[in-house]
Structure 1
Amino acid sequence: MKYLIAGLGNIGPEYALTRHNIGFMVLDRLAAQHDFKFSFERLAYTAEWKHKGRHIHFIKPTTYMNLSGKAIRYYMDAHKIPVENVLVVVDELQLDFGTLRLKPKGSHGGHNGLRNIEEVLGTAQYPRLRFGVGNDFPRGRQVDYVLAPFSNPEMDELPAILDRAGDMVLSFCTLGLQQTMNIFNQ
């Protein structure tokens, strides 16, 4: 069984610890815990790891957020991974900070990365792990908020939440979408 886990974010040190890069952060945390490394390939930083009989391909697209679909489509095709075995890890303004929700499908909700994935794949029927980053920003300042670093109190809480998100990713690959939703969705 093959899986593709796409953590969304933007490349470059100026984006490293920003809310919009939570997808990268989840995959980096998994890599550190399970001792696999990312390397630069076409359209993404990639890593492969075998876990409980599953072959998991991880990507951190280097296309920037707004063109994430291009990298996802490329690696789905390259590894012959069906859309139901793709999981997109993404920041979510509509959820309180630290809330995690696994969904089998959904709209892009104004998120440009998800919008592009939907356009490129031709469907919104793909699993996604929505990582709540909150929405504590003045009207019209959404971009500034998602491209800003987490607050110090949020940074203190982040490791435990990243661990839970990583557990959800691995559960998706081993137990499946529905069982993982039953176990982890709060």
Structure 2
Amino acid sequence: MWIVVGLGNPGTRYATTRHNVGALALKRAAASWSIPLRQAGARMVGEGSIGSNRVLLAGPLGWMNESGPPLRALLNDYQISPDRLIVIHDDLDMEFGRLRLRRAGGSGGHNGLKSILQSLGTPEFCRLKIGIGRPAPGQDSADYVLEPFSDEETERLPDILDRAIRAVECVVAEGIEAAMNRFNPLASEA
């Protein structure tokens, strides 16, 4: 079984903010894969399949910066190893709409990932980064990530989320290497 987590903050106030693009991707994936999400404590979860592969979808797990402990508990509850985990999250160091898969690594300054790395005790899990772009000069990064998408970004968002869904499907069906080769290059995003 794979677990696919879309990072975000809970509540309607944050639902359409840049920081919640991981949670938005998860909701779109759940609809695309016909996996109903249900409330389970501080998170939404759903079980189903991508092709012949079983998956558990989860997100948000509480406040973004405290994602690690509830994610560790979820992995323990379902007895899933971190190497079967895909975390979808925002990345403000990448241009808006760019996707990048990584097999492992550090947090890149992302506090949600810092919490996950600390709680799991390993960097060995798949991340799907979705670029949200940089704030304007002089704008605070924390304010920027908690703003709603611009009208132009909102218009482009469905296509970006659909590409993210295809990237997750590729990881699950063909492995991380195949997915990285297909979705990381800029040419694949044209």
Q: TM-score range by the shorter chain?
A: over 0.9
Q: Which moved more, 1:137-146 or 1:167-176?
A: 137-146
Q: In structure 2, list runs of 5 or more residues that go unmatched.
A: 186-190
Q: Do the aligned partners of 1:61 and 1:71 also contact (CA within 8 Å) in 2?
A: no
The alignment's C-alpha RMSD in Å is: 1.2
- Give, in angstroms, the shift of residue 86 of structure 1: 0.2
**Correspondence 1:133 to 2:132:** yes
**Amino acid in the other structure paired with 2:129:** R
**Correspondence 1:110 to 2:72:** no
- Give, in angstroms, the shift of residue 84 of structure 1: 1.0
Aligned to 2:188: none
Deviations 1:116-141 (A, max 9, x none): 00110112222100100000333460
Deviations 1:90-111 (A, max 9, x none): 1001100000000011111111
Q: What secondary structure does 1:13 align onto?
A: coil
**Correspondence 1:66 to 2:69:** no
- Which contiguous aligned blocks of 4+ residues in structure 1 show a shift greater than 4 angstroms? none
Q: What secondary structure does 1:15 align onto?
A: coil
Q: In structure 1, list runs of 5 or more residues that go unmatched.
A: none
What is the TM-score when the length of structure 2 is the normalising length? 0.93
Question: In 1, distance between residues paired with 2:54 and 2:31?
Answer: 18
Aligned to 2:41: 42
- Give, in angstroms, the shift of residue 71 of structure 1: 2.0
Q: What secondary structure does 1:143 align onto?
A: helix
Identity %: 37
What is the TM-score when the length of structure 1 is the normalising length? 0.95
